[in-house]
Amino acid sequence: MSLLDDDNINWVQDLENAVLEECSASDIFCICKGKPLPERLRSEVWQICLDVSDKGNQIELFNEIYDLPNQAVLHEDCTNFVATLGNDDNEKPSITSELESILTYYCKSRNLTYKHDNGWIELLLPLITLREDKSTMYNLFEGIRDTYIPQGSQKDGNAFHIMRLLLQYHDPELCSFLDTKKITPELYCLTWFQSLFAATCNLTATITMWDYYFQQSDPFFIFFLSLIMVINAREQIMSMKEEGKDKLINILSGMPSGLEAEDVADFCSLAQYYCLKTPTSFRTELMQPLYGGSNAGAQSVSQALCLPVSVDELVGNAFNRAMGGGQDGVRFFLVDCRPIEQYNSGHLPTAFHLDCNLMLQEPSAFQTAVQGLLMSQRQALAINSNAAGEHLCFLGSGRNEEDQYTNMVVASFLQKNTKYVSLLTGGFTALHDAFDYERCLQDHNAYQCIVCLPRLGISKTPTQSGKQSSDIFGKISAAMKSKSAEVKGMLFEYIVNPNNSPVQERHVSSNDKQGKRYRNVAPVFSIDDHDDSITTDANLEEDDDKELVSIQSWIKDPDVIEHFPCQEVQVSGCMYKSHLLVTSSHLVVIREVADKSDTGEVIVKRPLSTIVKITAKKRVPDLITFKYGIPDGDSLLISDMDRFLIPNATKATKTVSDQILKTMKSKD
Average pLDDT over residues 543-567: 83
Burial class (CB in 10 A: 0-12, 13-18, 19+), 479: buried
Kindly write down the DSSP assignment for every residue of 248-267, as one continuous string. HHHHHHTGGGG--GGGHHHH
- What percent of the chain shows pLDDT beyond 90? 47
Contact status, residue 231 vs residue 171, Cβ threshold 8 Å: yes
Pair type for strands 391-395 and 421-424: parallel
Question: Is it the case that residue 604 has pLDDT exceeding 70?
Answer: yes
Range with the poorest average pLDDT among 15-29, 111-125, 233-247, 566-580? 566-580
Cβ contact 392:335 at 8 Å: yes
pLDDT of residue 508: 45
Per-residue pLDDT at 41: 94
Residues sharing a CB contact under 8 Å with residue 300, sequence separation 6 or more, in sequence order: 308
Tell me the angle at which helices 281-291 and 158-170 cross, rounded to the nearest 10 degrees.
160
Interval 605-659: pLDDT, tens: 999 888 888 887 766 777 888 888 876 666 767 778 888 888 878 888 888 888 8
Cβ-contact 206, 256 below 8 angstroms: no
76: alpha, beta or left? (left if phi > 0; alpha if psi -120 to 50): alpha
* Percentage of residues in the chain having pLDDT higher than 70: 79
pLDDT at 205 over 90: yes
Residue 573 to residue 356: CA distance in whole angstroms = 13
Q: pLDDT tens digit string along 475-527?
A: 333 333 333 333 333 323 322 333 334 444 444 444 444 444 433 444 444 44
The predicted pLDDT at position 488 comes to: 31
Task: Answer yes or no: are the C-beta atoms of 56 and 89 closer than 8 Å.
Answer: no
pLDDT at 574 over 90: no
Those residues whose C-beta lies under 8 Å from the C-beta of residue 258, and which sit 6 or more positions away, are none
Choice between 483 and 236, residue whose per-residue pLDDT is larger: 236
Asked if residue 582 has pLDDT above 90, the reply is: yes
Query: Among the listed ranges 82-86, 178-182, 184-188, 535-539, which one has the minimum average pLDDT value?
Result: 535-539
Tell me: pLDDT of 539 over 50.
no
Q: Between 300 and 617, whose confidence is greater?
A: 617
- pLDDT for the residue 598: 85
Gap between the Cα atoms of 14 and 32, Å rounded: 9
- The per-residue pLDDT for 476 is 32
Q: Over the stretch 29-66, which tens digit does the pLDDT of each residue have?
A: 999 988 999 999 999 999 999 999 988 899 998 999 99
Each residue of 63-122: pLDDT tens digit?
A: 999 999 999 999 999 999 999 888 788 888 999 999 999 999 999 999 999 999 899 999
Return the closest-CA partner of residue 606 out of 576, 632, 634, 585.
585
Helix (H) or strand (E) holding 289: helix 281-291
* pLDDT score of 325 more than 80: no
Q: Using an 8 Å Cβ cutoff, are 583 and 594 in contact?
A: no
What is the predicted pLDDT for the residue at 207?
A: 96
pLDDT surpassing 70 at residue 7: no
Nearest to 392 by CA among 420, 352, 358, 356: 420
Tens digits of residue pLDDT in 397-443? 998 878 888 999 999 999 999 999 999 999 999 888 876 666 678 88
